[in-house]
Amino acid sequence: MSPRRSASETKALKLGEYPTGIRPRELSDGSLRWDARWRDITGREHENTYATMEDAVEARGEALRSIRRGGIGDPSGGKVRLVDWANEYFNNRCREGRVSANTLTKERRHWMRSILPFLGQYRLVDLRPQVLNGWRNDLREGNAPPVIPARSEKKRAPKQPVPYRPHKPSYVNTSIDVLARCLDAAVLELRFVK
């Protein structure tokens, strides 16, 4: 028994004429799937498979509309969490070797103390100006959970949590710079668009 097909699918199959960027694909069990293809702003081709031709046409159209509105056309763009992207970013900075070990240590310290506790679980697309302004204000005013300092070399047991205190403007600005470099790299990698 052949699967039920919509009238538009039956007509397209009979005539061999399909919407631009849409192609049928027959599976081994005889069922039909529809592939939607498009290119993002970098020229990289994307393809997704749908159960109906109408779904494929709709998905391709949405991807193209996203590109026209300034998106990148990559359906996964921006869905990665900041903590995951930052791990990749810091690993790349280490491999590149253009940054001194002291600079990387300083950046990681700012990341661990003042960025990760506040913003680490946000997806890149969710980092809106309101979120970033709130984070900056929390750093300035000292509104944050207590931080447990790392173990020192001299003492084996970790210290007790210390209350979070307001940071100096220079510390806040350096934390902002670290986050900005991380997010700029995400834009360059087309993880999301400014």
Q: What is the pLDDT of residues 134-193, one digit of tens each?
A: 888 888 887 765 454 555 445 555 555 555 677 788 888 999 999 998 888 877 765 554
Same domain, 102 and 155: yes
Band (pLDDT 50/70/90 cuts) for residue 61 is: confident
- Of 68, 90, 118, the domain-final residue: 68
| pLDDT at residue 75 greater than cutoff 60 | no
How is 33-47 classified by DSSP, letter by letter? EEEEEEE-TTS-EEE
**pLDDT tens-digit profile of 92-127?**
887 777 788 888 888 888 888 888 888 888 888 888
By CB atoms closer than 10 A (0-12, 13-18, 19+), residue 37 is middle
174 within a domain of the structure (yes/no): yes
Between CA 153 and CA 112 the distance in angstroms is 19
List of residues 6+ apart from 179 with CB closer than 8 A: 115, 119, 132
Same domain, 47 and 129: no
Same domain, 88 and 63: no
- Of 22, 37, 68, the domain-final residue: 68
Between CA 95 and CA 19 the distance in angstroms is 45
Of the candidate ranges 53-57, 64-68, 121-125, the one whose mean pLDDT is the lowest? 64-68
Give me the pLDDT at residue 190, please: 58
- Of 21, 37, 68, the domain-final residue: 68
Same domain, 92 and 50: no
Overall average pLDDT of the 55-83 stretch: 74
List of residues 6+ apart from 177 with CB closer than 8 A: none
Between CA 26 and CA 2 the distance in angstroms is 12
32 within a domain of the structure (yes/no): yes
Give me the pLDDT at residue 177, please: 92
Give me the pLDDT at residue 187, please: 75
Same domain, 48 and 102: no
73 within a domain of the structure (yes/no): no
Same domain, 110 and 18: no
Closest among 165, 184, 181 to 103, alpha carbons compared: 181
Same domain, 95 and 27: no
Give me the pLDDT at residue 162, please: 55
Q: How many domains does the chain have?
A: 2
List of residues 6+ apart from 51 with CB closer than 8 A: 33, 34
| pLDDT at residue 17 greater than cutoff 70 | yes
Taking a C-beta distance cutoff of 8 angstroms, is the pair 40, 67 a contact?
A: yes
pTM attached to this predicted model:
0.53
11 within a domain of the structure (yes/no): yes
**Containing structural domain, residue 12:** 7-68
The identity of residue 98, as a single letter, is: R
1 within a domain of the structure (yes/no): no
Give me the pLDDT at residue 179, please: 92
Between CA 132 and CA 103 the distance in angstroms is 23
Same domain, 118 and 173: yes
Same domain, 32 and 61: yes
Percent of the chain at pLDDT exceeding 70:
72
By CB atoms closer than 10 A (0-12, 13-18, 19+), residue 19 is middle
31 within a domain of the structure (yes/no): yes
Band (pLDDT 50/70/90 cuts) for residue 42 is: low
| pLDDT at residue 79 greater than cutoff 80 | no
Same domain, 103 and 170: yes
Q: What is the average pLDDT score of the chain?
A: 77
Same domain, 136 and 173: yes
Same domain, 110 and 21: no
2 within a domain of the structure (yes/no): no
138 within a domain of the structure (yes/no): yes
Overall average pLDDT of the 76-96 stretch: 79
Of the two residues 40 and 58, the one the predictor is more confident about is 58
